[in-house]
Structures are given as structure tokens and as C-alpha cells.
Amino acid sequence: MTITENALLLREARKIVEALGRTLAPMVEVVLHDLTRPASSIVAISNNLSGREVGDPTTVIGLARITDPAFPDILQNYPNQFPDGRPAKSTSIGLRNSDGDYVAALCLNVDVSMLTSIAASLSQLAQTQPAQTPMRESLASPRLDELRATLERFAAQLNKTPHALSPAQRRDAVHQLAQAGLMDLKNAQAVVASMLGVARPTVYSYLPQKDPSP
């Protein structure tokens, strides 16, 4: 059986709708429009957020794409709205056949209200109350903060980050920290290992070895 080019485009686009809908759920609705039949253009919808159904008509943008061959192939991140008033962010991708005619449109509609709610919750979680005491509390050891700052300064003088230091530079850095007494702090080796991106035994190997007693 011979399948037309337009039908082939729609068949393959259905796979994309299904895959994207499953991947981007629950915040993104994915819709496929058959622009050759605008009165019943929706042929696939995944993660339905708008309440529309297969067989529903195309949108204003779909009609504009049908009537104007020069209409942009991609409209990205434009403001939209679901039927119940929820704000949305949409992207519409036009699919053309080999003659350059629009055959279909693949549309993604992001439920912005869900993201706004999550952002508000995170913002509330991150808020702190005004200080009720002049003291500033930290859960980290002040001396470990000094260790981190010293290692950061050492790397900055070389126009690098601690992770980017060469083995020889790491050894020099650990020597400086040891000379300042900072490698004797509790958890110092773990902190330095994390900042340098190496294992703790590697940091230990960088420590200056004490001369044996005569």
C-alpha cells in the first residue's frame, strides 16, 4: 500500500507527540494539528492540559499558518492561555511537505501556573526571619571557611579554579595550607579533596612528609 507524503509526515509526527508528552509530563501538553483539515485539525494530543479532544478545530495561529505560506516555521515561547484561564507558554512548529506547503503543526503548551506555584514555594522555603540577635550563626567551622578561602585565593592567583589546578599546583596548595596549620583541622582533607576534585588519599599524598627523628 502506498502512503502519501502528507500522511507519512503525520504518522511520524504522532510518535514525537507521544514521546514528548510522556517525557515532559505533567507540565507540558503536546498537540499535533493536521492543517489540511482545519475544522477538525487535532489528530493527537498527549498530556492533555487544555481539555481539547481529537477532532477539535485548529487555533488562530494554525489558520494563519494555513493561509500564509510565509508564516514562520517556528514560533517559540509566546504567551498563551488555557481555556480555564491558566497562563501558558507555547511553541508552535510548522511541518511542510516537499512542495513547501504546511501539512501539520506540532505544538507544545507549558502550564506556567504550575511553575509559578513551585517557584513561590521555593521562595518561601528559602526565606529567613529578620535577625533577632546581632550574632551571625554559621554551621560550618570558621577555620574551615578560612581553609576554603585560602585555597580559592591560591587558585585565583593562577587564574584557575581549584578543580583546574595541575597536580604540581595542587601539591603546592596543600603545602601552603599545611604550613598555615589548616590541614590539621577536622575534615580538612575531605574539604580539600572535594574542592580539588580528587580522592582523600591523593590529598594525603600531597602533605609534606615529616623528617624522621634522628
| pLDDT per position as a tens digit, 26-82 | 999 999 999 999 999 999 999 999 999 999 999 999 999 999 999 999 999 999 999
Instruction: Decide if domain 5-114 falls under CATH 3.30.450.20.
Output: yes
Mean pLDDT, residues 6-15 taken together: 97
pLDDT, tens only, 172-197: 999 999 999 999 988 899 999 999 99
Q: Enter the pTM of the model.
A: 0.59
SS3 letters for the chain?
CCCCHHHHHHHHHHHHHHHHHHHHCCCEEEEEEECCCHHHCEEEEECCCCCCCCCCCCCHHHHHHHHCCCCCCEEEEEEEECCCCCEEEEEEEEEECCCCCEEEEEEEEEEHHHHHHHHHHHHHHHCCCCCCCCCCCCCCCHHHHHHHHHHHHHHHHCCCCHHHCCHHHHHHHHHHHHHCCHHHCCCHHHHHHHHHCCCHHHHHHHCCCCCCCC
In the prediction, which pLDDT does 1 show? 44
Domain ranges of the chain: 5-114, 142-206
